[in-house]
Amino acid sequence: MRSVVFRFESLTQLASQLELSGDDQDLDLPTGERFREGEWVLAHFCVGEESTSVAACVADRGAGVRLAFEERDWEHLLDFTQEEDSRASLPPPSVPANRISYVENVPPNTRVLLVDDDRDLQRVVGALLSHAGYETQVASSAEQALDVLRTERFDLMVLDWNLPGMTGLQLCARLRQIGTRLPILFLTAHSASEDIVAAFDAGADDFVPKPFRAPELAARVMGLLRRSQLPTLL
C-alpha cells in the first residue's frame, strides 16, 4: 500500500480543510502526487509534532481525482483536530466490508497473527484483515510473537522483515526449526530478488512486497490459507 503525506501548520487549518469538503468526505491530493483510481493508500496527516494516519481510496469525483474517506475514518480525522485533552478515543481506521468484494467467504474463527512494529501499518493492515473476516491479533516484535504462539492458535502469520531485536527472517527460520507449520506470508519492503529467495529459504510460504495493493494482499492471504488446508482435504 502506497502512502501520501498531508502537512498542516495547525489543527485549525486541518479542521478548515475538512470543513470545506462538507458531506463529500474527500480531499485533493497534495501537489505532485499521482495515484490510480480505485487504489487504496495510507494517508498521513502531520501537524507539527503530531500525526495520525488513515486509509483512503482514490476516486474520480468528476472534477478530478481526490482521496475519498470512509465515514469512520473521516470522524477519526475530525476528532484529531480537537485539542488533545478533549479528544475522544480515536477509532481505528476502517476498510469497509462492502469494498472487499474480491475476498471469498472466510471460514469462521480464522485467526491471523500480524507481526509488524509500524503502528500505522498495524492499524491499516489489521483493519483490512478484520473487515475481510479474519480474527486479527498484532505483535510488535518477534519475541512478542513467540510468546503469543506458545499459548494461542493461529491459521496464518503476516510477517514484516524489519523488527526490533530478532528480525522477521530469523523468526521465520526459528519457527521452522522447531517444527511449526503455521503458514507465513512476508509483507515487507525488502523486495530484491535475493531477499525473496532468503525469505523462502527461511521457510516463508508467500511474499508480498511493500508498497502493496489491498486486493492482492487479501487474495494472497486467502490463497495461502486454501493451500495450507489441501492436505487435510485429500
Write out the DSSP string of 180-225: ----EEEEES--SHHHHHHHHHHT-SEEEESS--HHHHHHHHHHHH
Give one word for 25, left, alpha or beta, with left for phi > 0 and alpha for psi -120 to 50: left
Examine the domain organization and report whether 111 and 73 are in the same domain. no
Examine the domain organization and report whether 70 and 145 are in the same domain. no
The DSSP line for 140-171 is SSHHHHHHHHHH---SEEEE-S--SSS-HHHH
Write out residues in the chain with pLDDT < 50, as ranges: 85-103, 232-234
Examine the domain organization and report whether 38 and 113 are in the same domain. no
Give the integer Cα–Cα distance in Å for 156 and 182. 6
What is the H or E stretch that residue 188 is in? strand 184-188
**Per-residue pLDDT, 89:** 46
**Per-residue pLDDT, 88:** 45
Examine the domain organization and report whether 41 and 120 are in the same domain. no
Domain count, the chain: 2
Examine the domain organization and report whether 46 and 107 are in the same domain. no
> Which domain CATH number covers 62?
2.40.10.220
Grid cell digits, residue 17: 480543510
Grid cell digits, residue 233: 482435504
> Which domain CATH number covers 117?
3.40.50.2300
Examine the domain organization and report whether 76 and 27 are in the same domain. yes
Examine the domain organization and report whether 126 and 208 are in the same domain. yes
pLDDT digits (tens, 9 = 90+) for 3-35: 788 999 999 999 999 999 888 899 988 888 888
Grid cell digits, residue 234: 485429500
The residue among 56, 86, 116 that closes a domain is 86
Give the integer Cα–Cα distance in Å for 103 and 215. 8
In the three-class reduction of DSSP (H, G, I as helix; E, B as strand; rest coil), residue 40 is classed as strand
Examine the domain organization and report whether 161 and 137 are in the same domain. yes
Number of H helices, E strands in the chain: 7, 10
Q: Does any domain span residue 79? A: yes
**Per-residue pLDDT, 113:** 97
Examine the domain organization and report whether 41 and 145 are in the same domain. no
Q: Does any domain span residue 37? A: yes
The residue among 86, 108, 137 that closes a domain is 86
Backbone φ, ψ for residue 23 (5° rounding) = -80, -5
**Per-residue pLDDT, 100:** 42
Examine the domain organization and report whether 225 and 134 are in the same domain. yes
**Per-residue pLDDT, 230:** 62
Domain enclosing residue 38, as ranges: 2-86
Q: Does any domain span residue 92? A: no
**Per-residue pLDDT, 205:** 95
Examine the domain organization and report whether 108 and 56 are in the same domain. no
The residue among 40, 62, 86 that closes a domain is 86
Examine the domain organization and report whether 142 and 58 are in the same domain. no
Give the integer Cα–Cα distance in Å for 44 and 219. 25
